[in-house]
Amino acid sequence: MAGKLYMVPTPVGNLEDMTPRAVKVLNEVSLILAEDTRTSAVLMKHYGITTPMRSHHKFNEHETVKSIVEMLKAGETIALVTDAGTPGISDPGFMLARECRHEDIAVETLPGATAFVPALVNSGLPCERFTFEGFLPAKKGRATRLAELAQERRTMIFYESPMRLVKTLEQFVDTFGSDREASVCREISKLHDTTQNGTLQELVDHYKQETPRGEIVIIVAGKSSEPHVKNDKYAHFKNKYINNTCDENS
């Protein structure tokens, strides 16, 4: 009988965000696959988890997937964790899950931490429909991808490094316009957790003055079908006046 692969989310910052069920699964499986065993060792020590670990990351997953699948087919139960967040979300996990699917091996993903959900909710931008873009291509294909997103009406979510934040925001200004509403969340659930809201140009100006640090999530409003009006408390009355005038002249 085949075993099972567990995808186990780990905290993106605060270690207390680990769920009791995740701790239980990591204690019960026969092997933990970790993106970086040194990073995961800190979490395991914190929760007293002594299950053996093996390295599994984007640089070796092509070579390790086959042997892992064979272990699962032999009945082993294995958990995959990444340095932070849910495996498969801008982290290793997809390739192994895909091979398990092809081999009819059960995969169970536990609910848990991922950086973009709190960033999206914190932003105050529409979250009933959104597109997760993760990291944009560093060079080749970046301009093409941004051009494709220029007409996107859903809220957009991006991951970015602090070193590239200002340059990326400047590219967003060129693509989406300087007055597009956006939000930058960094260090989610950590000591210096901050959310900075504003237009894209305001965010560019802010981070040119304040050096960003830590993990970054950028939330950008989708393209609106209505003209952008920012902080105009009389906008409703102006629109009502215009509509009434049009009705009288028709």
Q: What is the pLDDT of residue 225?
A: 64
Question: Taking a C-beta distance cutoff of 8 angstroms, is the pair 61, 91 a contact?
Answer: no
Calpha distance 37→81 (Å, rounded): 10
In the chain, the amino acid numbered 124 is G
Q: How far apart are CA 88 and CA 15, in angstroms?
A: 20
Give the pTM: 0.84
pLDDT, tens digit (0-9, with 9 covering 90-100), for 199-242: 999 999 999 999 888 889 999 999 986 544 444 444 444 444 44
Of residues 2 and 113, more confidence is placed in: 113
Q: How many CB atoms lie within 10 A of CB 223?
A: 16
Q: What is the pLDDT of residues 131-141, one digit of tens each?
A: 999 999 988 89
Q: Scanning the structure block, which residue is given the tokens 């002249």? A: 249
Q: What is the pLDDT of residue 106?
A: 96
pLDDT band at 148 (very low <50, low <70, confident <90, very high): very high
Q: Identify the CA nearest to 49 among candidates 26, 68, 73.
A: 26
| Superfamily classification of domain 4-109 | Tetrapyrrole methylase, N-terminal domain (3.40.1010.10)
> Where does the chain have alpha helices with state H?
20-28, 37-47, 61-73, 94-102, 116-123, 142-149, 165-176, 200-209, 235-249
Instruction: Report pLDDT for 250.
Output: 45
Asked whether the predicted pLDDT for residue 248 surpasses 60, the reply is no
Q: Which pLDDT tens digit goes with each residue over 74-104?
A: 999 999 999 999 999 999 999 999 999 999 9
Query: Poorest-confidence range of 6-20, 21-35, 147-161, 224-238?
Result: 224-238
pLDDT score of 237: 42
Superfamily covering domain 116-220: Tetrapyrrole methylase, C-terminal domain (3.30.950.10)
User: In whole angstroms, what is the distance from residue 218 CA to residue 35 CA?
Assistant: 24
Closest CA to 54 of 73, 43, 66, 68: 68
Backbone phi, psi, residue 183, to 5°:
-150, 140
Q: What pLDDT does 61 receive? A: 83
Mean pLDDT of 95-115: 95
Where does residue 1 rank: exposed (0-12), middle (13-18), buried (19+ CB within 10 A)?
Answer: exposed
Mean pLDDT of 28-48: 97
Q: Assess whether pLDDT exceeds 90 at residue 243.
A: no
Strand-pair category, 155-160 with 130-135: parallel
Mean pLDDT (the chain) is 90
Domain boundaries, the chain: 4-109, 116-220
